[in-house]
Amino acid sequence: MTVVDWSRWQFALTAIYHWLFVPLTLGLSVMVAIMESIYVRTGSQAWLKATKFWMTLFGINFAIGVATGLILEFEFGTNWSNYSWFVGDIFGAPLAIEGIVAFFMESTFVAVMFFGWHRVSRRFHLAATWLTAIGASISALWILVANAWMQYPVGMEFDPAQMRNVMDNFWALFSGIAVNKFFHAVFSGWALAGIFVIGVSSWFLIKNRNREFAIRSIKVGAWTGLAGMLMTMYTGDGSAVEVTKHQPMKLAAMEGLYKGSTQQGIVAMGLVNPAKSWNNDEDEYLFDIELPYGLSILAKHDPNAFVPGITDIIEGVDINANGDTINTVGYAERIARGKMAHEALRDFDKAKAVHDDEGMADAKARLKADYPYFGYGYFDSVDEAIPPVGVTFYSFRVMVILGSFFLLLYIVVLVGIYRRQWFEKSKWLQWIALVSVPFMWVCSEAGWMVAEVGRQPWTVQDLLPTRAAISAVSTTTVITTFWMFAGIFTLLLVAEVSIMIRQIEKGSKKDLNS
């Protein structure tokens, strides 16, 4: 494995661990705020106890999430310095806003949340709790805007004199991809936290402890989680449309599709054929169960739409709305034009060195014409521009299948809670809710794998592949820090889980019912 591989693995390791904490923070903060709102409105001590119980678990998770998030941002400078130089003017702006505004807002009010009881009024404390929840979402907004820009780079122009991109339209960063990604991530946090609350509360019911507290918590968790899951699915549909427009290769990898067609079906279940490549005649799947028209509807909301596959995209083949076959820019041409852009940049640099204004102008014009394919100039073969199909395909199905299961679980829990206390009496359903908790994290992580693995080999879509984005560090250095971080993050995770279990156990021995 090269330094590129190890740097990618290290970043993936940090991101995966960080994402274990982020969605629970986003969702649990909202539910704590809802519970405290009920307490302030009713004055019920039972709701106050519920608020403080879940607030404690939120605080533990919040602290660990901050630690992993800071390391993640530092890695852009240590492992990906070429990336930071190339697009730092654009990518750095939302991260700076997140740190200066959202994170400080979140951190300030979280202090009032935990230490402001009996020091500030009820309404002021409630406002601090809601502002903490809002701050967490605003913090996620800027991070996801930055990530979405990597998927769809807009609002910038390349300056050959500086050899880097400069921002020319800040508001362009709020693209359709960014908006859908933000709401998709935030609402998925609600859904994850809802399952967490239901699962923990089910354990109280199984142990026959604080049953009234458990039922109250389940109601808040189930309603918030159901709303989050429905909105996650809605924004996921919007994300699929945006991916179709701007990252068709990712969509093709998600489906394991090589030769597309009109009225394209979607594979509900299947196994991709590892022997299949874009230029052979092997079958795409070892077996598959297809839903007719599914992918055409998902991608373009039109059952008759043409959806290109990997081979179609590489060869530059598409079909327009009239059903006519048209040629787009194929990957071989993109690679050739990318290399021409690199040559134009070198010519610009040479002309600049000798103060040749005419030569600089000519080179700049040629560079601008081919710059949309700049990143392809780093490749020698079209095979290098294809994402890992198997990982993307299976991750997408894990996300969808588990998401559908949790939607059903939310509905069953709500029906069981309000229909003659059926859920309260059903031990088997309580066990299902409890055992399902870790699978919600599997669903969430699978979604991130689709988003990030599916856009490989790009750090910035079409402009900068991972091989050109890394720092000049040795493989040994990255390997050492990889295993160091793996050990530290694992210890942090074990510490968080053990502290949470201890807090849950401690809470079960208190009177939380009234």
Does some domain include residue 301?
Answer: yes
Q: CB neighbours of 463 closer than 8 A, spacing ≥ 6?
A: 86, 87, 153, 165, 374, 375
How many other CB atoms are there within 10 angstroms of residue 311's CB atom?
Answer: 19
| Domain range for 285 | 257-327
| pLDDT for position 81 | 87
| CA distances, 497 to each of 189, 441, 509 (Å) | 18, 14, 19
Q: Are residues 89 and 197 both part of a single domain? A: yes
Does some domain include residue 487?
Answer: yes
State the residue for tokens 């979280």.
Answer: 110
Q: Are residues 195 and 219 both part of a single domain? A: yes
Q: Are residues 400 and 316 both part of a single domain? A: no
| pLDDT for position 88 | 84
Q: Are residues 215 and 279 both part of a single domain? A: no
Q: Are residues 52 and 171 both part of a single domain? A: yes
Q: Are residues 409 and 470 both part of a single domain? A: yes
Q: Are residues 209 and 139 both part of a single domain? A: yes
Sign of CA dihedral 7, 12, 17, 18: positive
Does some domain include residue 512?
Answer: no
Q: Are residues 400 and 344 both part of a single domain? A: no
Three-state DSSP at 165 gives: strand
Count up the domains in the chain and report the number: 3
Q: Are residues 84 and 230 both part of a single domain? A: yes
Which residue, among 234, 463, 513, has the nearest Cα to 337 in the 3D structure? Answer: 463
Verdict on whether the full-model pTM lies above 0.85: yes
| Average confidence (pLDDT) per 10 residues, the chain, 514 residues | 87 88 92 94 90 91 80 81 87 82 78 88 92 89 90 90 88 91 94 95 90 91 95 93 90 92 90 90 89 90 90 84 70 93 93 90 92 93 92 94 95 87 85 94 93 91 91 88 90 89 84 72
Q: Which of 286, 303, 327 is the last residue of a domain?
A: 327
**Residue 471 and residue 477: Cα distance in Å, rounded?**
11
Q: CB neighbours of 281 closer than 8 A, spacing ≥ 6?
A: none
**Residue 220 and residue 233: Cα distance in Å, rounded?**
20
Q: Which of 313, 348, 382 is the last residue of a domain?
A: 382
| pLDDT for position 324 | 59
Q: Are residues 342 and 369 both part of a single domain? A: yes
| pLDDT for position 483 | 92
Q: Are residues 243 and 264 both part of a single domain? A: no
| pLDDT for position 118 | 86
Q: What is the pLDDT of residues 254-293, one digit of tens each?
A: 999 999 888 899 998 999 999 999 888 888 999 989 999 9
| pLDDT for position 96 | 83
Q: Are residues 353 and 397 both part of a single domain? A: no
Q: How many CA atoms lie within 13 A of 448 on its CB side?
A: 23
Does some domain include residue 513?
Answer: no
